[in-house]
Amino acid sequence: MTTVFTHALVPLALGAALDRRMVSGRLLVAGAVCGVLPDADVLSLQFAVARGSLLSHRGFTHSLGFACLLGVLAAVLAPQLRARRGAAFGFVFLSTLSHPLLDMLTNGGSGVALGFPFSSERVFFSWRPILVAPISAARFFSERGWRVLQSELVWVGLPLAGLALLIWLWRRGRSPAPDTSIS
Ligand SMILES: [Zn+2]
């Protein structure tokens, strides 16, 4: 897994760069929660769930199907999220999907069942520069945890900041110039 901070950071950075009329504050928070939610499957480690099964870590909750499910739920709850249904679906779908995509860039753990329900194969990207984060919190607050955060800052934080800046500049370029004429 990537750390919880980085998984929440992706939707927060993208949402913050987009128009508030498209991504409301509530939708932004929902996206951040959904960016982290797939790792709730670590609870399966407390139960006798077979390793590599869909209910094990990086299984169903790390799939296109799960991202779609949360997107549909967000579209249903769009009035409560103060967003249009299409925007609610798209933002929550992408926020959730960013999680397994980031995990596929990590250099450890099991592969990700990204293609479910079309495929149950566990996959990684062939290029995996991000150090995998320890699951246990005790091990996270260690020398290794610090190295993981540095790795995520370089490979996720910096590209994300660049992307958010580009979206913001693009939006600024599209917004009409303020009317300074005197009538
Ligand atoms: Zn994960």
Residue 22 tokens read as 């498209």
pLDDT tens per residue, range 160-179: 889 888 988 888 887 776 66
Structural domain includes residue 168:
no
Q: What string of DSSP letters covers 49-98? A: PPTTSTTSTTSGGGSHHHHHHHHHHHHHTHHHHTS-HHHHHHHHHHHHHH
In a domain, 42, yes or no: yes
CA distance 19 to 3: 27
Q: Tell me if 32 is assigned to some domain.
A: yes
Per the structure, the count of domains in the chain is: 1
Residues 6 or more apart in contact with residue 120 via CB below 8 angstroms: 54, 113
Q: How confident is the model at residue 181 (pLDDT cuts 50, 70, 90)?
A: low
Distance 182 CA to ligand 1 centre (A): 56
Residue 183 resides in a domain: no
What confidence score (pLDDT) does residue 19 get?
A: 84
- The pLDDT tens digits of the residues spanning 55-100 come to 999 999 999 999 999 999 999 999 999 999 999 999 999 999 999 9
At residue 146, what is the residue type? W
Q: Which pLDDT does position 180 carry in this prediction? A: 62
pLDDT band at 150 (very low <50, low <70, confident <90, very high): confident
173 CA distance to ligand 1 middle (Å): 36
Res. 183: pLDDT tops 60: no
What is the spatial distance between Cα 38 and Cα 2, in angstroms, rounded to a whole number? Answer: 11
Hey, is 128 helix, strand or coil?
coil
Distance 163 CA to ligand 1 centre (A): 22
Query: Could you tell me the pLDDT band of residue 124, with boundaries at 50, 70 and 90?
Result: very high
CA 149 – ligand 1 centroid, Å: 15
Q: Note whether residue 173 is domain-resident.
A: no
The average pLDDT across 41-48 equals 86
Tell me the CA–centroid distance for residue 174 and ligand 1, in Å. Answer: 36
Q: Summarize the confidence of residues 134-141 as an average pLDDT.
A: 67
For residue 68, give its domain range.
Answer: 4-158
Q: What is the pLDDT of residue 178?
A: 63
